[in-house]
Amino acid sequence: MEYFNFHTHQFKNETSVLELVNQYPNEFDESIPFYSIGIHPWHIEGNRIDADLEIIEEKLQSSNCLAVGECGLDKRIEIPFELQLSVFEKQLILAEKYKKPVIIHCVAAYQEVSEIKKRMKISVPMIIHGFSKKNQIAVQLVKEGFYLSFGKYLLKNPDLKPVFQNMPNDRFFLETDSIAETIQEVYEMASNYKEITIKELQTIISSNYRTVFKIT
């Protein structure tokens, strides 16, 4: 593995890239080698929650399923927040049961996600994907034990440069999510910001990958 794409919706099957592909329970593709699976807050459907959770639990027992998610909380959508909380917490219970990391979608709900982590005593790694906020929030999340994954906004928002530069090397990942740009381009920007070589960055990400996903 030269590159690790922590979160993507587009499976490209490049030999040099380990892609953690986001899957939804009702659209599962058996051909994808490594994936996460979860109920995204945008896609919560009341009449399908139990069936989706059953599929998630089944897939979590496979070694090809590396993580739960993406799942989480989003205050800018019409899905009732209480329902989002319930579905998120049920997925966290499964993550704990099967000892899988959690990929988190969080919009305007960092306080709630932090509170849930503490209240439920979540022991598995929790990673905020697509991070785009200010340094103060990043510092607080890292202090509380979260990892942060950077992608689209690292490429498109120069204000994120000092936030990323300030990130401890053992607490971040890189991703493409749904953008057209490649993971190699994200690595290039990240290495420039950190003022290290691509090779050094690859070593950092590989180490984080082994730690979070318990790879020996």
pLDDT at 116 (0 to 100): 98
Cβ(98)–Cβ(67) under 8 Å? no
Cβ(93)–Cβ(124) under 8 Å? no
Task: Select from 50, 126, 61 the least CA-distant residue to 92.
Answer: 126
Percentage of the chain beyond pLDDT 70 is 100
Residue pLDDT, tens place only, 23-74: 999 999 999 999 999 999 999 999 999 999 999 999 999 999 999 999 999 9
Residue pLDDT, tens place only, 118-135: 999 999 999 999 999 999
State the average pLDDT over residues 67-87.
97
pLDDT at 159 (0 to 100): 96
State the average pLDDT over residues 187-213.
98
Sheet strands (E) in the chain: 3-8, 17-23, 35-37, 65-74, 102-107, 126-128, 147-150, 172-174
Cβ(66)–Cβ(36) under 8 Å? yes
Longest dimension (CA), the chain: 50
Taking 80 as the threshold, does the pLDDT of residue 156 lie above it? yes
Taking 80 as the threshold, does the pLDDT of residue 216 lie above it? no
Three-point CA angle 174, 13, 155, nearest 5°: 30
Number of domains in the chain: 1
Percentage of the chain beyond pLDDT 90 is 98
Residue pLDDT, tens place only, 164-197: 999 999 999 999 999 999 999 999 999 999 999 9
- Predicted TM-score (pTM) of this structure: 0.97
pLDDT at 160 (0 to 100): 97
Q: What is the CA radius of gyration of the chain?
A: 16
Taking 90 as the threshold, does the pLDDT of residue 215 lie above it? no
Taking 90 as the threshold, does the pLDDT of residue 151 lie above it? yes
DSSP class of residue 64 equals T
Q: How far is CA 107 from CA 66, 98, 141, 168, 182, in A?
A: 23, 26, 14, 23, 24
Q: Which domain holds residue 66?
A: 3-212
Q: What CATH number did the domain enclosing 170 receive?
A: 3.20.20.140
